[in-house]
Structure 1
Amino acid sequence: MAIDDTRLVTPAAMGAIDAAAARGGIDSFTLMQAAGAHVAAVVLAHYPDALRVVVVCGPGNNGGDGHVAARLLMQSGVAVARFGAPPKPGGDAARAFTECPGSLAPLEDWQPRAGDVVIDALFGAGLDRAVGDDVAAVIARAEATGTPVVAVDLPSGLSGRTGAPTGPCFRAEHTVTFAARKPGHLLMPGRALCGRLHLCDIGIPARLIASDDRLWRNHPGLYSDHLPVADAAAHKYTHGHLAVFSGPLISSGAARLAAVAGLRAGAGLVTVASPPNAVLTQASHFTAIMQRALGGADALADWLGDRRLSAFVLGPGFGDADKARAFTRQLADTGRPVVLDADGITAHAACRDALGAAFGGAVRLALTPHEGEFARLFPDLAKDPALSKVDRARAAAAMLNAVVVYKGADTVIAAPDGRSAINADAPAWLATAGSGDVLAGILGGLLAQAMPVFEAACAAVAMHGLAARRAGIGMTAEDLAGQVRPPDHSAADAGRT
């Protein structure tokens, strides 16, 4: 059975998995042998011309993996030098150290040579503090000389829980990890510091690779069972009616991007509700998307009497904070799903608790903040250095009884019940003005089709990245919206594990 590369486990959970494997009779030294063999294989495959492999070893099991890799590389005819601290007597690492021929020099003795490749087997994922001065000096020498680094489990100095460096940190070209990915492999800047990731099966049974973390890499298995299904008897209203609220004339483009994306995501109808002075401008851009002139709260109350309206997007280019808050309260009272983005999020910075209270009960609110918007709405969470991006998103979701799509190169999707996903495959060129408006529209379009909010958010983030890959480097947000497609069931099924 292929290894499940979708589940993420924290370093603490991985320790519990290792302990469960040992209790189940799996020999821990056999696991170490397999881990070291994978490390050696990666070095041989990617650095066949290395003149010397330098293995820097810590005193724990990560160092034990390094000793195994060193022995196997020597047996393959590779010149190997080991530097570091000897392990404590009696454990697996001590056995691996004893079985590896040659000496172990002090860490500070390593001086880079041309043709060196470093295997970083110092600490791995378990370290959540800054490395010492001796390790920092080694990191600095490797960085200064451009010496390639292959990290065992995680580059030393990088938190496997948060993906943030705890101080000086190796920048690896390759990282070899075992059994399951850790959050630090996907969260930025950890993903960049890991280089190419190799997830390897070392013999831990799949039934043990589980935890209470409820954290995954975003993948089709999270949402494919809930994707809208085409029905020959369907009509436009069975595919949902999405309402997108526009801002004033000067900032109406953001709503247009969201509306186009919602329609392309499969909503049967999309209406843009605009201030009266923006209607003609919007009409000049739309054909398939409908228009509604909408003034204040009374006009909105009349429109909300139409039960065919199935989901709402408020915030892109909206502008008026007082009006955004008032409209949001009215939308909350309908019991239908709402996406708050951009100005819809910022408008509630001073009344966050009231927003959460308005959306009690079944989860029907989604927020799509970027880093700055998140900090405005959740300054207490944003300022806490002990929290990972996953921790912050989960806490925010619980506070507001909402699904939070915390955007970025490592977008985190979190539900109030703790389910979370990290998206790691969106292209870099998504970082362009208007991209977030498109995402809000895709999510609104899926919610209009009655997808549950967490599953819709995971699907929307995946669709957003796929549209960007179709659009290509140099795309604009208009290009991006034009490349949105309804979810493909066959592709989703193929990606399930």
Structure 2
Amino acid sequence: MKAIATALGVSEVWLAFGEIVGEGGESPPLPIDPILLTVDEMYQADALAVKAGISGLDLMEAAGAGIMQAIIARWPSSPVLVLCGPGNNGGDGFVVARLLREAGWDIRLALLGNVEKLTGDAAVNAARWEGPVLEFKPGLVGKGENACGLVVDAVFGAGLSRPITGMVKTVLEEVAASGLPVIAVDVPSGIDGDTGACLGFALGAELTVTFFRRKPGHLLLPGRQHCGQVVVVDIGTPEAVLDQIRPQAHQNCPSLWGGLFPRRSVMDHKYVRGHVVVLGGDEMTGAARLAARGALRAGAGLVTIVCPESAVPIYALGEPGVLNARLGEGEGQGEGQREGLTRLLADERKNLYVLGPGNGVTAVTKARVMEVLETGRPCVLDADALTVFADDVDGLAEAISGPCVITPHEGEFARLFGPIGEGPKGERAGKLGRVRAAAARLGCVVLLKGADTVIADADGRGVINTNAPPILATAGAGDVLAGFIGGLMAQSMSPFAAACAGVWLHGECANEFGPGLIAEDLPEQLPAVLRRLFSSTSDQRLAVSVAP
């Protein structure tokens, strides 16, 4: 699994029971595998499996058997409507129908298109189906004695690229309106397997059964909301194919970065643990204080808020554990303030800068950010430090000369990058594609915040985070996140690993607190989350919270 080790940025990994452990320490075992395969990569995996001697028919039979077993394990026997499409997804549906009927279930099967036009393995499995094939049309759900109890959606798979319209849409809308449990094959019909986008219309499934590995569309919104519970079935694809595919996308979880997390030593002192400098403004002072508190709780040895002289009394009344320093005499970006920032930058013990929270969208903020970036010091850029470059992304790209993480929300991202990552025909790229393109454009780590936060590095690695609860939509939460990431980077965690760890811990802190959360609560939950993260007695409880 050397390819996976390279993708994760660790020296070695061991993959067993869904656990990936980085050199330097153990991470909690997880009931999921973090590796995600794009639609094209899954096609490649199937082709490599066939090349290794596993027939396409065997793969389809195993897929259908896995779906059948998942259904039997969750529902009592009842009439099932199996909706089959004209491709391999429909072939899987024919296998499911045959195996459920052999198990004594009442099955009705409808096919979109003609049996005579099916090809390949789908045609073979259609021939093995001994029951009637109904016309794909409205009214299939039935009523009264003809009503079904479950629906298997095997119409379209993850590779669908066109919107669902017309009669097909009408049939699927009837299924949705019926309220019947839907079991989706691979992905719910209408969901793009790579982007999670809804193509015209998409069924909402109670259970989605996919094969070998999950896809980004299972985790990205709105796809994640349509998939319900996602079960991955082993269909016999050799694990070795991953070494040839070299997947670059993963679900965020501790097994990706736990081995890179800062470790304590009896020889540590505060400067070993890093010194974070937070640039504070003179109006929205709470933002910088939240970032500073986040950096402290994340383990930074020292945190200093540096601010205009006029704001020093405000910050001095804040956290007793946070140092305060003034930029210098005078207001704005006068000579005294420039000298103050230059003096701070001359102290190499101050090894991480958090810029943007509460700084103000001004030329002064932009000048300060540029001065810090040009030194090559590690930085986290958030909020105003990004907005000041809304019309100058080239200037930002040129200024970044050292380790850097930027943490925009959707609005800041759009102002900075515009329609980045568009496809060859002008189609809008999915979130993962857009963030990867942005990271390549700037040459740094980009973290696009949201309910499905995506982190990407300039080398193409991408991670999707899934543990953020709705209560995180509160003022100041992003400032705390910037502090978490900065605190981890100050302790020599790589920008990509720190961003992944920071956003996951951020979500866990919100889950730990629960309803009523405000931003100030987040740093105070971090000790409990970290204790559970590295506790051998409660690893499984932690693992459950990162499942999609």
Match for 2:406 among 351, 362, 367?
Answer: 367
Specify which of 107, 126, 147 is matched with residue 159 of structure 2: 126
Contact 1:58 1:87 in 2 (8 A): no
Q: CA, structure 1 residues 64+463, in 2 after alignment: closer, same or farther (shift >3 Å)? A: same
How far apart, CA to CA, are the structure 2 residues paired with 1:37 and 1:319? 59
**Partners of 1:387 and 1:259 in 2: CA distance:** 35
Please state how far the C-alpha of 1:226 moved relative to its aligned partner: 2.1
Q: 1:142·1:148 contact (CA, 8 Å) conserved in 2?
A: no
Deviation per CA, 1:177-228, whole angstroms, max 9, x where unpaired?
0001111001110100111111111111111145244111112233223221
Matched-pair contact (CA < 8 Å) for 1:297–1:326 = no
- Counterpart position of 2:95: 68
Per-residue displacement from partner, 1:422-448 (whole Å, max 9, x unpaired)? 111222221221111111000010111
Question: Does 2:524 match 1:490?
Answer: no
- The one of 168, 172, 186 aligned to 2:205: 172
Q: How far apart, CA to CA, are the structure 2 residues paired with 1:470 and 1:333?
A: 39
What are the Cα deviations for residues 75-129 of structure 1, in whole angstroms up to 9, with x where unaligned?
2222110011326455211121122221111110543235431101011111111
With over 3 angstroms needed to count, the CA separation of the structure-2 counterparts of 1:104 and 1:385, relative to structure 1, is same
Q: Distance in 2 between the 1:122 and 1:31 partners?
A: 18
Find the counterpart in structure 2 of residue 28 from structure 1. 56
SS in 1 for 2:458: coil
Structure 2 residue identity aligned to 1:345: L
SS at match of 1:17: helix
- Provide the C-alpha distance between the structure 2 equivalents of 1:88 and 1:35, rounded to a whole number of angstroms: 22
| Partner Cα separation in structure 1 for residue 246 and residue 196 of structure 2 | 19
Give the whole-Å Cα distance in 2 for the aligned partners of 1:196 and 1:212.
26
SS in 2 for 1:462: helix
Q: SS of 1:450's equivalent?
A: coil
SS at match of 2:419: helix
1:165-314 equivalences in 2 (<5 Å): 165-209=198-242, 211-249=245-283, 251-295=284-328, 296-314=337-355
Matching residue within 21, 36, 52 for 1:8: 36
Contact 1:83 1:109 in 2 (8 A): no
Provide Cα deviations, 1:148-181, integer angstroms capped at 9, x if missing partner: 2110000111100111011111111111000011
- Partner letter of residue 80 of structure 1? I
Contact 2:139 2:171 in 1 (8 A): yes
Q: Do structure 1's residue 105 and structure 2's residue 134 form an aligned pair?
A: yes
Give 3-state SS (helix, strand or coil) of 1:484's partner.
helix
For residue 187 of structure 2, the aligned residue among 123, 146, 154 is 154
Counterpart for residue 435 of structure 1: 477
Aligned residue number for residue 25 of structure 2: none
The 1:431/1:385 distance shift into structure 2, 3 A limit, reads: farther
Counterpart secondary structure, 1:204: coil
Distance in structure 2 (CA, Å) of the matches to 1:346 and 1:382: 20
2: CA distance, partners of 1:413 / 1:63 = 35
* Inter-CA distance 491–346: structure 2 relative to 1 (3 Å threshold): farther
CA contact (8 A) 2:138 2:174 kept: no
Pairwise CA distance, 1:491: 5.7
Task: Please give the alpha-carbon distance, in whole angstroms, between the structure 1 residues aligned to 2:316 and 2:213.
Answer: 51
Deviates most, 453-462 or 88-97: 88-97
Count matched residues.
492
Aligned-residue offset at 1:463: 1.1
| Equivalent pair of 2:86/2:118 in contact (CA under 8 Å) | no
Indicate conservation of the 8 Å contact 2:209/2:231, yes or no.
yes
Select the residue among 503, 507, 521 that pairs with 1:479.
Answer: 521
Contact 2:274 2:302 in 1 (8 A): yes
Matching residue of 2:81:
54
Q: CA deviation at 1:298?
A: 2.1
1:350-398 C-alpha deviation (Å, 9 max, x unpaired): 11111111113xx511100111110110113288643111111011111
CA distance in 2, matches of 1:379, 1:491: 44
Distance 2:294 2:36 in 1: 30
Matches of 1:491 and 1:393 in 2, distance apart?
33
Q: TM-score, normalised by structure 1?
A: 0.94
Q: Distance in 2 between matches of 1:149 and 1:121?
A: 10
Alignment of 1:401-412 (within 5 A): 401-412=443-454
Distance 2:362 2:74 in 1: 55
Amino acid at match of 1:225: G
Counterpart secondary structure, 1:413: strand
Offset of residue 47 of structure 1? 2.6
Residue equivalent to 2:378: 337
Rounded to whole Å, the distance in 1 between the matches of 2:161 and 2:416 is 28
Q: 1:375 touches 1:382 (CA, 8 Å); kept in 2?
A: no
Distance 1:89 1:60, change over 3 A: closer
Distance 1:57 1:349, change over 3 A: same
Letter of the aligned partner of 2:131 in structure 1? Answer: G
Q: Which amino acid aligns with 2:226?
A: L
Maintained 8 Å contact 1:63/1:93: yes
**Within 2, Cα distance between the matches of 1:219 and 1:74?**
40
Matched position secondary structure for 1:483:
helix
Report if aligned partners of 2:77, 2:105 keep a CA contact under 8 Å in 1.
no
Distance 1:15 1:110, change over 3 A: farther
* Aligned CA-pair RMSD: 2.1
Can you give the 5+ residue segments of structure 2 that lack an aligned partner in the other structure?
1-15, 19-31, 329-336
Whole-angstrom distance in 2 between the partners of 1:297 and 1:134: 67
Cα pair 1:252 1:282 within 8 Å, conserved: yes
Q: Distance in 2 between matches of 1:99 and 1:277?
A: 81
Matched residue, 2:460:
418
TM-score (norm 2): 0.86
By how many angstroms is 1:343 displaced?
0.8
Q: Which amino acid is the alignment partner of residue 258 of structure 1?
A: A
Q: 1:390 to 1:89 in 2, by over 3 A?
A: closer
Evaluate the alpha carbon distance shift between residue 140 and residue 309 of structure 1 in structure 2; reply closer, same or farther with a 3 A threshold.
same
- How big is the shift at 1:487? 5.2
Cα contact 1:406–1:413 (8 A) shared by 2? yes
SS in 2 for 1:477: coil
Between the aligned residues of both structures, percent identity stands at 44
Could you tell me which runs of 5 or more consecutive residues in structure 1 were left unpaired when the two chains were aligned: none
Q: Could you say if the C-alpha distance between residues 49 and 129 of structure 1 is closer, same or farther in structure 2, counting changes exceeding 3 Å?
A: same
Counterpart Cα distance in 2 of 1:253 and 1:49: 58
Aligned match of 1:143 in 163, 167, 176?
A: 176
